[in-house]
Structure 1
Amino acid sequence: MTQAAAAITVRTTCPYCGVGCGILATPQADGSVAIAGDPGHPANFGRLCSKGTALGETLSLTDRLLRPRIEGREAHWDEALDLVAGRFREAIQAFGPDSVAIYGSGQLLTEDYYVANKLMKGFVGSANIDTNSRLCMASSVAGHKRAFGSDTVPGNYEDLEAADLVVLVGSNLAWCHPVLHQRLLAAKARRPQMRIMLIDPRRTVSAELTDLHLPIQPDGDIALFVGLLRHLAAAGAATDFASKYVVGTDGAVAAAAAWDIARVTEATGLAPTDLETFYRWFAETERVVTVYSQGVNQSATGTDKVNAIINCHLLTGRIGRPGMGPFSVTGQPNAMGGREVGGLANMLAAHMDFSPETIERVGRFWKAERMAETPGLGAVDLFAAMAAGRIKAVWIMGTNPVVSMPDADAVRDALKACPFVVVSDMTERTDSAQLAHVLLPAAPWGEKDGTVTNSERRISRQRAFLAPAGQAKPDWWIITQVARRMGFGAAFPYETPAEIFAEHARLSGFENEGRRDFDISGLLGENYDLLEPVQWPVREKSVERLFADGGFYTPDGKARMLPIEPPPVLNPAPGRMVLNTGRVRDHWHTMTRTGKTARLSAHYAEPFVEIHPEDARRLNIRKASLVRLARGDSETVVRALLSERQRKGSVFAPMHWTGQFASKGRIDALVAAKVDPVSAQPALKMSEVTVEPWRTSLYGFFVALERPRLDTDYWAWAPAPRGTRGELAWRAEPADWSAWIGERFHLDAKTKMSSVGDPRSGRRSFAGIRHGQLVFALFVSPDPVPVAREWIVGQLSVEKVDGLKILAGRPGADMPDSGPIVCACHAVGRNVIREAIRRGCPDVDAVGAATKAGTNCGACRTEIASLIRSEAILT
């Protein structure tokens, strides 16, 4: 790369969550890329979270898929594309259009999504194209459409800053949307009278700086908001807005009449005084924003939860004006963009549904040869149809359903049984890619152009700043080439993403005349390369606010309030606990990108289950021991994290770990494939599982310059700054440790191995040193290994190590142990933060001044606040 090329900074958009942060990417002369937040982007104004800050560390070619592969062998693009087109065409001819399917991803750009949707619904003639957005946003879509007549998110990020009460419902904003959370906390710092409250079964880090936390019973949200509706009606909080612009008010209020405080208390497990406080705050505060995410959507009653929330805002007219409204925050960078082009199986492009009128309209616009006339299969039903033999060919794009889908073992088996599986991805090392007959190298973030739409309806450009690696191609190009080979070339003439975007914009305005919410026809004629972030709708006449004066997208222009009936209280069967799945701060989905960087792996380096200490004592589960979670024939083995943040009777486990990173960490294998009847979104938050100790005779921890061969009964590994790290466990101790180590670690004759053991405790340590540098260290113990892990990991980067200290597993008194990493940006450990607190740092800013923790992205500030609180309790 030349020095001239290194000087160019490209404005692009982050590929992680739905906040949609602007990024400044500057390729460097040494081949690296400097990443910074874009101060001019209205989503983040220069802020980035830990994941965004570390994006430059995820761009290596390690594990990249660089050439097409057919049955494991490298192939030319023409051969691979011909095969995909031919096998899809053969399946359609023999079994009909519904025998093929596409399963996409919120990682796709809007242009990719548009072309895939057009191919399936307009020319294959099947709506069997769904997306992993079904797993996170489908209930919100359904709730919006029932209430507003359209999938419209009415709010803006500025509303969170302008509100006097922000209610977080089933949203760990601090970890899952950190930049938005930092904007919220900054607003509260400017206006301390602002109230923030959290409704969540767990006391997540988002609760640390809130005014009230309601530790609600799982699935108690509907009862809570139905009770709120009753209270608002009784308190006279209904406004003229409801009488002018809403229908169904009387029926919704009547359905809520029986839900007094006593009944809501029983259904939610909340204290009556806390309920009364919440209801009073909501009733007396005009500027209220209710932010909800996966804790609401990922439920068998998710759509009703969404409408129960919206009902309260419609009754009080708290919608469409600054500082108020229901606000769905999306989990993926382009979940909303996918919805705009019909990426869900029950939608057509440009926010149109499957009505005879819209089918005819879209077909006429596309000059479609064979329009799909009915909705296709949602994600769960799609893989069930595959298992039943009805899907003969499937194309998976940029996602990993063998890990992320509910009942993930059944999904894996369905893919194994499918006659033809195609996977387009940046890597061949995903659990799903391992089952593909054809692998197509898709260009990842940094190598392709397009647009994405964030949670506030803001379209931003994602621009390439790297040349495609190997033979990688953008997804829209791959889909277009297959479409042409299937005989649909005239409808797929695209040579640039700008051409696709222009067609997408034309369709959004086609025969619209203000009747549909999604309209970006006002962008036609704009320079695609120079497109600035912009919120839709963008018509000839701009629209500042949606729904402030009605104008809903229903036949009569009025919103709908629905009568909502709370479900029965969730009571797990005897001997079972409720499993709540979710995310951690520094990892993203199935770790295809974040799993490459040591910095993001340091906070949580292996899969875990969070369990209340009282439940742990009852089940004889010790701190840091291994735990077996099971449902039916599916099981996982994960580390026990005892925490009073966790509600008794339920457990929490993150969904990120795959078969590539852990032996038995695929947590969604335990999730039942139960879906919401309206949205078809699976209930990923509330499966029943058994929880018990996983019996092992020996635990282990290792660091090594090269990843060893991992074949123990339990293993989990993560990258380290100069190598790898990992946790191990054995059912039976190896007979010969020297032979076992020699067969698995990459040692040579120049490596000197030493060991030390304690016969009484059963602990042993092994280390290999070459020319003064640590090659590997292995620590084993009958109990969870008590070593200073972050210090040991750091020794891989030391030019000349002290072998005795390595074998001891901890530094001497002159080299304090920093402890587990809390601040990923500056690698600040828990012990360093605690020491700063003990020396007199009274608040988060003071800790930051002393240690730098929390001074970059801010995502760890709530965790620092928690440490301050815990130290205050101890003293």
Structure 2
Amino acid sequence: MKTICTTCPYCGVGCGVLANVDDAGTVKIKGHPTHPANLGRLCSKGSALGETFDPEGRLLAPQIGTRSAGWDEALDLVADRFSQTIAEHGPDSVAFYVSGQLLTEDYYVANKLMKGYIGSANIDTNSRLCMASTVAGHKRAFGTDTVPGVYEDLEEADLIVLVGSNLAWCHPVLYQRIVAAKKARPQMKVVNIDPRRTATCDIADLHLPLAPGSDVALFNRLLSEIHQQGCVDSAFVGAHVEGFEDALNAASGEDASATGLNHHDLTTFLNWWIGTEKTVTVFSQGVNQSQQGTDKVNAILNCHLATGRIGKPGCGPFSVTGQPNAMGGREVGGLANMLACHLDIENETHRDVVQGFWKSPTMPEQAGLKAVDLFEAVGRGEIKALWIMCTNPVVSLPDADKVKAAIEGCDFVVVSDLSADTDTAKIADVVLPATGWGEKDGTVTNSERMISRQRAILPPAGQARHDWDIMSDVGRRMGWADAFAYSAPADIFREYAELSGLASALNRDFDISGLQSLSDAEFEALEPTRWPITANAPKGSQRMFADGQFFTPSSRGRMLAVHQNATTKAYGETLRLNTGRIRDQWHTMTRTAKSPRLSTHMAEPYLEIHPDDAKNNGIRDADLVRVQSAEGEAVLRALITDRVQKGVPFAPIHWTSEYASDGRISTVVPSVTDPVSGQPDSKAARVTVSPMSPAWYGFAVSQKGLTPNASYWATARHSRGWRAELAGMDAPQDWQAYARDLFDLQDAEITSVIDAERGVVRIAFHENGCVIAALFCSPEPVSVSRSWAAGRMGDETSSSILAGRPGADQPDPGAIVCACFNVGVNTIIDAIVQKDLISVDQIGIALEAGSNCGSCRPELAALLVNGRTRLAAE
């Protein structure tokens, strides 16, 4: 057994991981107890990382068209086609689309190749969908894309304001740090600002369910009230801030009624914020993913600049990133409008410094195409060669069907990924097998500027190669051998660190020049360190702007005059669709879907819809519904709840055509972007919803896999195989024949109960005396104990499988609530009642549920109320 210290590949918290690997290659995961980001904590996704090394679906060799090829043939083709396209149509006829899941060294080589050698800025990243508005807001206010605070501020604050951030599900470890701090200091207050009542509300002293998109109106009202109550830090503003009067004038004219908040809640928030010096305002995708995202960011920053609450312990604005290396990508110029080390592509001096350092033949003078614009250019035929790395834009970008058509029509498309089965890889001309987490080696930077090492746990699968190595090889084949003669990630890191020192001399914030002379052994042993890292601060730095000096020409922070736009008005006959993430899945599920326990909590795409909207549209709970817009359509399971506001349904972003028939919610989202940042508005699509009204619903479970053949389907792994939700517009004439095709079991023994008149069908397949598959169908959504039925696969043949639920002598755990320990709702409620449990902590002691990542604690609290109610009734 060997232990490897590495970093989690999911959200931007950047948790340290200890991976224990035995001689058979089995990986056991636990949190790194001394990593400063998580101090041993992991969320459900991080805890399940050891379950995601399943080789099924891995691309093991380069693929040209539908055939396997050698690396030389594949890379010669890539280099030749890109070179030919550039020669015939110019450098702007090619583009790269990269990813916040790449390591910093991969990112650096991609930007050097495209900007310094190909000579185009047409390289953008899926971080454009995540954090671009924060980048733009930071640059407008601070002069650079600088996150001022550190995670310790969350524990030192007296007031934490969460804005558009379901921290409990999307950044669970940070959420648990706040939970622990609040338990230690009960006087700490938390405000959660979100149109939805999310799991994060469990810790909130105040939930502000503001009207969607009205953040600017709220924070302008706060700025105006700061002034009215005489709480402006005049000394700080006078010495260190510009633009105050214009920002205040804009804020004073704002109508706070746009927020839709009642007077009491609004006044409470204003008084708490103004009266609490140690205030941290945490914001994430609910702020960024908006047509007005950059203005929202600056509205928040304005309040902190006006009060001088920045650069000090326990206070400041804090952007938390959604991807593991979104920050690292920003550092190396991963966005189309940036250069490496936070230098500006439109600044001649900056361009000259980078070009001189790289000794490159060219350098673009203007920003390249941002993500949405880039794929529109692909669709128009202006981009003729496209390389997509470690991301799945056919699922993640807005107006996804249009993006898919654009890629299909492009002359030459290369995809580097772990699998050839993603929606994007399926339509590429060349697919290159890249290494993934557990095989990669390099660095990532988390939301608090902490650089951590990601280390290889297992050797690369098949012929997979690192992304930096693939790109370097192509660069050499295109004629730039010396510039891309890297032999290891440490070579790239040292070069990048040296360049950062030149950037620092140009009044940029990013500086890791203190690491430019690291030996290979020192790079291998590099401990988590927060930049800037210089000769004078070799162990890294804490908060930025403690001295009141910013990176603008005047060295002052800038306040911006921003105004609420009109997008919060009612949509009339249509609904305003909100999208986001769920607890146990990640992006487009290429890794998390491999873990059976991560699919137990939410096993299919769904739509949270308010009871009034459901009633008005003829939708019942668990119905399948069509969600339609001018751009496209998705089919989701209805979850009727007052957690969402009337008129504002919510759907998760994760499902792809690999796991659901019509679950790509991005197909209904229009390609509307923030005019400053270019970030798409993913939370304001105009949609209609209507019942799908299938003739039959089904639930299938199998030990060996299945091939859905239905109008609607959604598949997921379980601990003993696969499960699927099904529905059809027409009932099969022969249900047994349908089931045999579904499971590809033409000769297996069958037991069945088929009531043709009622439309109720129950079929089980047996092999060697064991249950290997079962199908349950009815005219209504199927009432089956899904976790129990899945758990019967491989059991000795029993007629009870056709009942779809356990007998009186068998426990039914119910739907899984705690994914870390696989604890179901029925088990939890029974324990509450039988053991007279009175707290979530007691549930953890009794069942372990909620004792690991804590993401399920809000649900446990709700179940505690239900269980206590049942106990009182008894």
TM-score after normalising by structure 2? 0.97
Q: In terms of mean alpha carbon deviation, does 31-40 or 400-409 score higher?
A: 31-40
* Larger displacement relative to structure 2 (712-721 or 838-847): 838-847
Query: Which residue of 371, 378, 392 corresponds with 2:370?
Result: 378
Q: CA deviation at 1:97?
A: 0.3
User: Are 1:283 and 2:274 an aligned pair?
Assistant: yes
Q: Deviations over 1:80-106 (max 9, x none)?
A: 000000000111011110000000000
**Counterpart of 1:737?**
735
Q: Residues of 1 paired with 2:427 and 2:725: CA distance?
A: 27
**Residue type matched to 1:93 in 2?**
A
Structure 1 residue 31: deviation in Å?
Answer: 2.2
1:4 corresponds in structure 2 to none
Contact 2:580-2:651 at 8 Å conserved across structures:
yes
1:712 CA displacement: 0.6
Question: Match of 2:807?
Answer: 812
Partner of 2:862: 866
1:135 aligns with 2:146: no
Distance 1:298 1:873 in 2: 40
CA distance in 2, matches of 1:134, 1:25: 31
- Look up the equivalent residue of 1:674 and give its one-letter code: V
Q: How many equivalent residue pairs?
A: 862
Equivalence for 2:390: 398
The one-letter amino acid of 2:23's match is A
Aligned to 2:683: 685
Q: Distance in 1 between matches of 2:776 and 2:403?
A: 37
Q: Structure 1 residue 863: deviation in Å?
A: 1.7
2:97 is equivalent to residue 103 of structure 1: yes
CA–CA separation in structure 1 for the residues paired with 2:166 and 2:869: 24
Instruction: Look up the match of 2:286.
Output: 295
Deviations 1:479-511 (A, max 9, x none): 000000111112111111100000000000016
Relative to 1, partners in 2 of residues 1:633 and 1:506: Cα closer, same or farther, differing over 3 Å?
A: closer
Asked whether the equivalents of residues 205 and 866 of structure 1 are also in contact (C-alpha less than 8 Å), the reply is no
Q: CA deviation at 1:760?
A: 6.1
Residues 697 and 730, structure 1, Cα contact 8 Å, conserved in 2: yes
**1:389 Cα deviation after fit:** 0.4
Deviation at 1:856, TM superposition (A): 1.7
Residue segments in structure 1 that go unaligned for 5+ positions in a row: 1-6
SS in 1 for 2:336: coil
Contact 2:495-2:516 within 8 A present in 1 as well: no
Paired residue for 2:663? Answer: 665
1:208/1:866 contact within 8 Å kept: no
- Counterpart position of 2:457: 465
Q: Could you tell me how far apart the structure 2 residues matched to 1:785 and 1:488 are? A: 61
1:509 aligns with 2:501: yes
What residue ranges of structure 2 are gaps of 5+ in the alignment?
Answer: none
Structure 1 residue 772 corresponds to structure 2 residue 769: yes
Give 1:597 deviation, angstroms: 1.1
- What's 2:357 paired with? 365
Matched, 1:785 2:782: yes
Cα deviation 1:423-449 (Å, max 9, x = unaligned) = 000111100000110000001111121
1:246 aligns with 2:241: yes
1:855 and 2:851 correspond = yes
Which residues in structure 2 correspond to 1:187-266 (within 5 Å)? 187-239=181-233, 240-259=235-254, 263-264=255-256, 266=257
- 1:19 matched to 2:13: yes
1:53–1:572 CA distance, 2 compared to 1 (3 A): same
Deviation, 1:671, is 0.6
- Structure-to-structure mapping, 1:112-131, within 5 angstroms: 112-131=106-125
Match of 2:410 in 1: 418
Q: Once structures 1 and 2 are overlaid, which stretch shifts more, 788-797 or 165-174?
A: 788-797
The one-letter code sitting in structure 2 at the alignment partner of 1:256 is A
Q: Please state whether the residue corresponding to 2:343 is helix, strand or coil.
A: coil
| CA contact 1:393–1:421 (8 Å) conserved in 2 | yes
Aligned partners of 1:196 and 1:212 also within 8 Å: yes
Partner of 1:443 in structure 2?
435
Q: Which aligned pairs between 1:380-779 and structure 2 lie closer than 5 A?
A: 380-510=372-502, 512-513=504-505, 515-526=507-518, 527-542=522-537, 543-632=541-630, 634-747=632-745, 749=747, 751-758=748-755, 761-779=758-776
Higher mean displacement: 568-577 or 483-492 = 568-577
Structure 1 residue 72: Cα displacement: 1.2
Contact 1:267-1:569 at 8 Å conserved across structures: no
Determine the C-alpha separation between the residues in 2 that align with 1:303 and 1:548.
Answer: 24
Q: Secondary structure at the match of 1:80?
A: helix
Residues 704 and 775 in structure 1, CA contact (< 8 A), matched pair in contact too: yes
Task: For 1:722 and 1:771, locate their aligned partners in 2 and report how far apart those are by CA, in whole Å.
Answer: 16
Cα deviation code 1:729-788 (max 9, x no counterpart): 010100011221222213253x32111134564322111122332111100011000011
Aligned equivalent of 1:843, options 817, 839, 843 = 839
CA distances 1:665-707 after superposition (whole Å, capped 9, x unpaired):
0001111100000000000111111111112010000001122
Shift of 1:533: 0.3
Give the secondary structure class of the aligned counterpart of 1:796.
Answer: coil
Distance in 2 of aligned mates of 1:401 and 1:422: 13
CA contact (8 A) 1:698 1:733 kept: yes
Shift of 1:544: 3.4
Contact 2:631 2:667 in 1 (8 A): no
- State the SS of the aligned residue for 2:191: strand
For 2:315, the equivalent position in structure 1 comes to: 324
TM-score by length of 1: 0.97
Shift of 1:513: 3.0
Distance 2:830 2:259 in 1: 39
Q: Secondary structure at the match of 2:504?
A: coil
- Kept after mapping to 1: 8 A contact 2:765/2:771: yes
Distance (whole Å) between structure 1 residues aligned to residue 275 and residue 631 of structure 2: 51
What secondary structure does 1:756 align onto?
Answer: strand
Contact 1:63-1:428 within 8 A present in 2 as well: yes
Question: d(CA) in 1 for partners of 2:512 and 2:629?
Answer: 47
Partners of 1:479 and 1:759 in 2: CA distance: 60
The offset of 1:564, in angstroms, is: 1.0
Instruction: Please state whether the residue corresponding to 2:649 is helix, strand or coil.
Output: strand
Question: SS of 1:94's equivalent?
Answer: helix
Measure how far apart 1:866 and its partner are: 2.5
Offset at 1:514? 7.1
1:728 alignment partner AA: L
CA distance in 2, matches of 1:579, 1:59: 35
Question: In the alignment, is the contact (CA less than 8 A) between 1:721 and 1:797 conserved in 2?
Answer: no
- Is the CA contact (8 Å cut-off) linking 2:7 and 2:452 kept in structure 1? yes
Is the Cα–Cα contact under 8 Å of residues 127 and 372 in structure 1 kept in the other structure?
Answer: yes
Verify the 8 A CA contact 2:736 2:763 in the aligned structure 1: no
| Distance in 1 between residues matched to 2:418 and 2:344, nearest whole Å | 32
Deviations along 1:45-99, one digit per CA (max 9) or x if unpaired, are 1111010000010012110011000011000000000000000011101111000
Between the aligned partners of 1:832 and 1:135, the Cα distance in structure 2 is: 39
After superposition, residues 144-155 of structure 1 pair within 5 angstroms as 144-155=138-149
Q: SS in structure 1 opposite 2:569?
A: coil
What is the identity percentage for the equivalent residue pairs of Structure 1 and Structure 2?
Answer: 56
Give CA-to-partner distance per residue, 1:571-608, whole Å, 9 cap, x none. Answer: 34332101111011000000000011111011111100
AA partner of residue 153 (structure 2): D
State the distance in 1 between where 2:718 and 2:706 align. 13
Mapped partners of 1:861, 1:743: distance in 2: 42
**What is the CA distance between 1:551 and its match in structure 2?**
1.1
* CA displacement at 1:801 relative to structure 2: 4.2
AA of the residue aligned to 1:603: H
Find the residue that maps to 1:779 and give its secondary structure: strand
